[in-house]
Amino acid sequence: MSVQTRAAVLREPTDEHPFATSAPLGVETVTLDGPGPGEVLVRIEAAGLCHSDLSVVNGDRPRPVPMVLGHEAAGVVEEVGAGVTDVAPGDRVVCSYVPSCGHCANCAGGNPVRCADAQAANREARLVTGRRPFRDADGAELHQHLGVSAFAERTVVSPRSLIRVPDEVPLDVAAVFGCAVLTGAGAVLNTAAVRPGESVAVVGLGGVGISAVMAAALGGAHPVIAVDTVESKLQSARDVGATHTVLASDTAVEEIKDLTGGGAAATIEAAGHPAALATAYGATKVGGRVVVAGLPHPRHEIAVPIAALVGEEKSILGSYMGSSVPRRDLPRLFDLYAAGLLPADRLVTANHVPLGDINTALDRLHEGSEVRQIITPGG
């Protein structure tokens, strides 16, 4: 059975600022088809506004439109379709934007974020079942954003996208685990495999970067150096475990080298910008690891001197969703939060933002004044 729900719909990408005036996201009353076989209806309680959402709005990450945006969210299961046994109505869940099929070569090889079925569905802006359950007032189909479409009061997702949330974790905090925490912590713990006592530098302090700082501190890294252009974000990094902070500038590389005695053992690039990656590469010691976790515009490239790459034996590692296994890693991260060891609530710098204010929230994200804003679609 179909339901009516409010949703933030992107009809045309634009980089016209302020977004509060150009209003790229229109809050519309749309029709949402109920869950079919292998699908779940979720009431969205909290959705994080991520830089990846902004990249779709401004055209840096081209996606088919019209689309219901949002990919980082937590909510409550309201209804399940035929054949669904993983979750039940009433379950508190967090969404993962790469649903794992469990049987393709990547899933079977322990790399579910590379799931072939999920990647195809996400590229085509549909669910892994093949459906697009949202329709606008004229009956036209709306595209699904990364299998989630969380900027809506309700959405339909695959059960493969859902992980239960413990009662100890508030849903407005759980939301940021689905992207920011999983990606940032995973970049440190999974991709870089940082060991206690190793030095770590994190370049770019959005939700992913702050999460990387938290994970580095939790894992016993030392020193933990945070780098950004915004002083308030440097303070946020200090609040969650950074031992040193560096304001991004032409001297940042040398400052990091001075703090680490020649360069960090692992650097995490979390800004999605070539200049940030150049800083991370330059600040990495001989034999160190450079982890690229930020998603830039597809046209962005960097030049790396090949002789230095060989002679210095630096490794450049891509990290998509923190090289994570969501069904393995998220329960662990929730437990760490509940134990007071992973202060993920510190990421949330603006809470309970109404769906109708989402374009103003995009302006704040573009300006860099917030780490994570939590949209509450149901008001």
Work out the mean pLDDT of the chain and round it to a whole number.
96
Q: Which of 8-22, 29-43, 203-217, 295-309 has the lowest mean pLDDT?
A: 295-309
Cα–Cα dist 117/290, whole Å: 29
- pTM of the predicted model, to two decimals? 0.96
**pLDDT > 90? residue 353:** yes
Q: Which residues, in sequence order, are CB contacts of 164 under 8 Å at separation 6+?
A: 87, 91, 92, 93
Residues 102-131: tens digit of each pLDDT: 889 999 999 999 999 999 999 999 999 999
Residue 206: the pLDDT is: 95
Q: Which residues, in sequence order, are CB contacts of 176 under 8 Å at separation 6+?
A: 48, 72, 207, 211, 344, 347, 348, 372, 374
Place of tokens 């680490």: 260
Q: Which residues, in sequence order, are CB contacts of 49 under 8 Å at separation 6+?
A: 72, 353, 358, 361, 362, 365, 372, 373, 374, 375
Decide which of 297 and 142 is more confident.
142
**pLDDT > 90? residue 68:** yes
Report the interhelical angle of 252-260 vs 274-282 (nearest 10°).
30
Cα–Cα dist 296/293, whole Å: 10
* Domains by residue range for the chain, with CATH: 3-178+324-376 (3.90.180.10), 193-318 (3.40.50.720)
Cα–Cα dist 73/296, whole Å: 22
Q: What percent of the chain has pLDDT over 70?
A: 100
Q: Tell me the CA end-to-end span of the chain in Å, nearest whole number.
A: 24
Q: What is the mean pLDDT of residues 283-304?
A: 93
Strands (E), the chain: 3-10, 25-32, 40-49, 67-68, 72-80, 92-95, 134-135, 141-144, 154-157, 162-164, 200-203, 224-228, 244-247, 264-269, 284-292, 315-318, 348-354, 372-376
